[in-house]
Amino acid sequence: MSDSSDQSPSKVRGFTWTVGDHALLSDSDAWGEALVEAGRADPRIVTVTADLGETTRLQAFKRAFAERAINVGIAEQNLVAVAAGLAATGLIPVVCTYATFAVLRAAEFVRTDLGYGQRNVKLIGTLAGVAYGQGGPSHHAAEDLALLRAIPGLVILAPSDGYEMAAALRAAVAHEGPVYLRWGRGTERADPARRDRPFVIGPIEERHPGADVTVLAYGPTVQEAERAARRALSAGVSTRVLAVPTLAPLDRATILRAARETRRLITVEDHSIIGGLGSAVAETVARAGIAVRIAALGHRERFLPMGVPEDLMAIGGFDEDAIYEEILRICRVDPPAPDDDWEDR
Amino acid sequence: MRRYTVDAMVAALSSSEHRRLLAVSLRARERVVRAVFRSGSGHVGAALSQCDALVALYERHLRLDPARLDDPARDRFVLSKGHGGLGLAAVLVERGILTQGQLDSFGESASPIGMHMDHRKVAGIEAATGSLGHGLGIAVGMALGARVQRWSSRVYCLLSDGECYEGSTWEAALCASASKLRSLCAIVDRNRLTMDGWTEREVPLEPLADKWKSFGWRVLACDGHDFAALDECFARAKDDGPAVIIAETVKGKGVSFMENKPEWHYGAIDSAKLDEALASLRAQHDAETRALDARERGAS
């Protein structure tokens, strides 16, 4: 057996990463390590998974605390019910499976047992949006927030990179009550400068200053928006980028301030534009009676095909290029003339 | 209809204790029909079929101090068939966990004592149920939680036979046996009636005991209205689980005009019906007491 086969990402990490992702995975391991640290500090923390411990970063915890790591088998309704029961005994279950199964398959259990029951469970939905694009629509999760936002008392967090995910997990564990953490593929490039930032549940974070238009994003689209904002600056448009790592409770004050100050809002998300951030922002400004132009980028009333996530974000129209084009469109700015004198350089 | 019997019957229940349970059960049933009369409706059939199993559990086996309901090491009971809430409330009044005053508010708008009860609003309720097929998984989680924390708590869970149609019940059953949850005991209220009629005519559940057995459970079965048999089953289930007691019951048990009538799954009674129901309960109780007298005379 060759060394290369032993070192293949699929063998080491599970089957949901491609070779090209391998170099980025160390950042995404941050939350698995944070979970182990949290488990060491607090014996109440237990993990529960439905056969996806290997691909969802729970393995390190299991190695450290075998009797506090529970696998219920491929049974998501029971996954959530068992977590509710564990929480009823005073433990803090950290539950992890793919977002589409955690939320859609087990929806009524999440609503009734975690939401209505207000159980102190931390539900992590991984591979949200098209993060597992190759799996196709059965494995895409573009509806989880539409469902969960309607559940009273459920905190919804959507970190944008591995470090923020680790910090969000610490904040979720410290919070008393049910929390949903929406997580992607784990290959989002993390900025080392942001490694030790504490995560505070609630506030929106300004990632890029701007006065002409505001882009609101969460998860993997935050970095797409930041890049688009930098490009737009050279086209003469000043773009504010707001990261919304807490979808519930929503920081409405910051959204309304952006609406008043920039009068143009673009939401961008790897989720349906129905029920996600696009809806949340539109509801917020409409109820406040502020006249703004709004554009919503995200999954637009169709199922995206199978494909690698970067392609699907382009096909779906919520990648950097799409955001950049929307910034110019909403500000009625013509794109800069194409740089066609490259042959002369 | 097939009836399950307990093999190797042992008369662990004393005569006086048996009579006490019959009296508790009569009072609990009277509280149920009075509450249904007062509130205008309720799940009366389900409350009456489960009554004796819950009386046996709460009066004889569940280790619980009504003055310390938050004791972490207590035994826990999850009412998976949430529509049995009224029936449970009546038994909790008998056990001193709820008051009759609380039960009097049953069914009033915004009362915590309603069709389906919530652990956050009613001390003594362990989980908010109502949607079928949730309770056993929650009970499995509680048993796992007790194990992780090294408590000797036992966890009991009452399911309707209708809940054995829910896939999630079997997800939990599989998980319980895989986890070797010896402290877990489920009770199936096998009254054989769901909303639309007889289970065996609609979508047959039999052989139900074999299903549980094949899922790795210890299966005990008894007449769910026979206190001696119920007591025996609860005693044998202890720390040898996961065990399921299939309690063969009669929906509407104790009120002759409600017995085995699907239309009394949920219903309303007027004052004439109330008098008739109370008289019927009293008559059945007296008949059971006389039967006990006769058995004891025969035995002596």
CATH number of the domain within which A291 lies:
3.40.50.920
Q: Does A3 map to a domain?
A: no
Given A70, A80, A89, which is nearest B142 (Cβ)?
Answer: A89
Q: How many domains does chain A have?
A: 2
Contacts of B130 in chain A (CB under 8 A): 112
Which positions ≥6 away from A214 have C-beta within 8 Å?
Answer: A239, A240, A241, A242, A258, A259, A261, A262, A264, A265, A266
Out of B118, B134, B143, closest to residue A81 by CB: B134
Phi-psi region of A332 (alpha: psi -120 to 50; beta: other; left: phi over 0): left
Of residues B72, B136, B141, nearest to A86 (C-beta) = B141
Domain that holds residue B239: 15-299
Question: Nearest 10 degrees: CA dihedral of A118, A124, A125, A129?
Answer: 110
Q: Chains A, B: CB contacts under 8 A, how many?
A: 109
- Calculate mean pLDDT across residues B251-255: 97
Set of chain B residues whose Cβ sits within 8 Å of the Cβ of A113: 127-128, 134, 138
Q: How far is CA B162 from CA A214, B3, B31, in A?
A: 53, 18, 25
- Could you tell me which chain B residue has the CA closest to the CA of A43? B149
Q: Which of A144, A174, A194 is the last residue of a domain?
A: A194
Residue B3 placed within a domain: no
What is the CATH classification number for the domain harbouring A179?
3.40.50.970
Residue A298 domain flag: yes
Query: For residues A254 and A260, what is the distance between their CA atoms, to the nearest angstrom?
Result: 10
Asked, for residue B10, whether it belongs to a domain, the answer is no
- Copy the structure tokens of residue B103: 């039960």
Residues in chain A closer than 8 A to B126 (CB atoms)? 88
Residue A272's domain comprises 205-337
CB B222 within 8 A of CB B243: no
Chain B 138-177, CB below 8 Å of chain A: which residues? 138-146, 148-149, 151, 167-168, 171-172, 174-175
pLDDT tens, position by position, B189-221: 999 999 889 999 999 999 999 999 999 999 999
Does A234 lie in the same domain as A121? no
- What's the half-sphere exposure (Cβ side, CA atoms, 13 Å) at B145? 27
Residue A92: HSE in the Cβ half-sphere, 13 Å Cα cutoff: 21
Residue in B168, B170, B181 to test binding to A, most A beta-carbons within 10 Å:
B168
Start-to-end C-alpha separation, chain B = 32
Establish if A2 belongs to a structural domain. no
- Which residues, in sequence order, are CB contacts of A77 under 8 Å at separation 6+? A105, A106, A109, B133, B137, B167, B168, B171
Confidence of residue B114 (pLDDT cuts 50, 70, 90): confident
Do A145 and A270 have their domain in common? no
Tell me the C-alpha distance between B98 and B113, whole Å: 10
Residue A242 lies in a domain: yes
Q: Are A159 and A246 part of one and the same domain?
A: no
Residue A345 in domain: no
Q: What gap in Å lies between CA B134 and CA B171, rounded to an integer?
A: 10
What mean pLDDT comes out for the span B6-26? 79
A94 and A212: one domain?
Answer: no
Domain-ending residue, one of A194, A221, A255: A194
Task: Encode pLDDT of B59-98 as tens digits.
Answer: 999 999 999 999 999 999 999 999 999 999 999 999 999 9
Is A281 found in the same domain as A159? no
**Do the domain assignments include residue A344?**
no
Q: Mean pLDDT, 10 residues at a time, over chain A (345 residues)?
A: 39 42 58 92 96 79 94 97 98 96 97 98 96 94 98 97 93 98 82 87 98 97 97 96 98 98 98 98 97 97 94 97 98 80 57
Asked whether residue B87 is domain-assigned, the answer is yes
pTM of the model: 0.92
By Cβ distance, the residue of B130, B142, B171 closest to A85 is B142
Sign of CA dihedral B97, B101, B107, B111: negative
CA distance A285 to A252: 9
What pLDDT is recorded for position A339?
A: 65
Q: What angle do CA B237, A75, A119 make, to 5 degrees?
A: 75
Q: Is B5 within the bounds of a domain? A: no
- Chain A residues with beta carbon closer than 8 angstroms to that of B171: 72-73, 75, 77-78
CB-closest option in B127, B130, B167 to A88: B127
User: What's the first-to-final CA gap in chain A, in angstroms?
Assistant: 51
Q: What is the C-alpha to C-alpha distance for residues B186 and A212, in angstroms, rounded to an integer?
A: 63
CATH number at residue B229: 3.40.50.970
- Check CB contact under 8 Å for B118 and A81: no
For residue A203, cis peptide bond before it (omega within 30 degrees of 0): no
d(CA B14, CA B110) in angstroms, rounded, equals 42
8 Å CB contact between A215 and A243: no
Regarding whether A131 and A53 lie in a shared domain, the answer is: yes
DSSP secondary structure string for all residues of B108-142? STT-SSSSS--TTTSTT--S---STT-HHHHHHHH
**A251 in the same domain as A289:** yes
| Domain tally, chain B | 1
| Chain A interface, best mutation among B136, B144, B156, by max A CB count within 10 A | B144
Partner-chain contact A72 B175, CB within 8 Å: yes
The tokens of A103 are what? 């939320």
Distances (CA, A) of B233 to B220, B245, B294: 6, 7, 24
> For helices B15-39 and B44-56, what crossing angle results, to 10°?
150
- Using the beta-carbon criterion (under 8 Å), do A88 and B120 form an inter-chain contact? no
Q: Is residue B59 part of a domain?
A: yes
Tell me the two tokens of residue B251: 């929906």
CA distance A50 to chain B (A): 11
SS3 A213: strand
In three-state form (DSSP H/G/I as H, E/B as E, the rest C), the secondary structure along B39-81 is: HCCECHHHHHHHHHHHHHHHHHHCCCCCCCCCCCCCCEEEECC
Same domain, A189 and A224: no
- B37 vs B267: CA distance, rounded Å: 9
Query: Does the ipTM exceed 0.95?
Result: no
Q: Do both A146 and A211 map to the same domain?
A: no
Is residue B6 a part of any domain in this protein?
no
- Find chain A residues with C-beta within 8 A of B128's C-beta: 112-113, 116-117
- Helix or strand or coil: residue B194? strand
Task: Return the CA Rg of chain A.
Answer: 20
User: For residues A230 and A220, what is the distance between their CA atoms, to the nearest angstrom?
Assistant: 17
Number of Cβ within a 10 Å radius of residue B99: 10
By CB atoms closer than 10 A (0-12, 13-18, 19+), residue B297 is: exposed
Q: Of A94, A89, A87, A28, whose CA–CA distance to A65 is shortest?
A: A94
B67: in domain: yes
Beta-carbon separation of B168 and A91 below 8 A: no
State how far residue A63 is from chain B, nearest Cα, in angstroms: 16
Phi, psi of A84 (to 5 degrees): -60, -40
| B142 belongs to a structural domain | yes
| Final residue in a domain of this structure, among A194, A219, A245 | A194
Angle at B191 between CA B185 and CA B196, to 5 degrees: 125
Whether the link from the prior residue into B242 is cis, omega within 30° of 0, is: yes
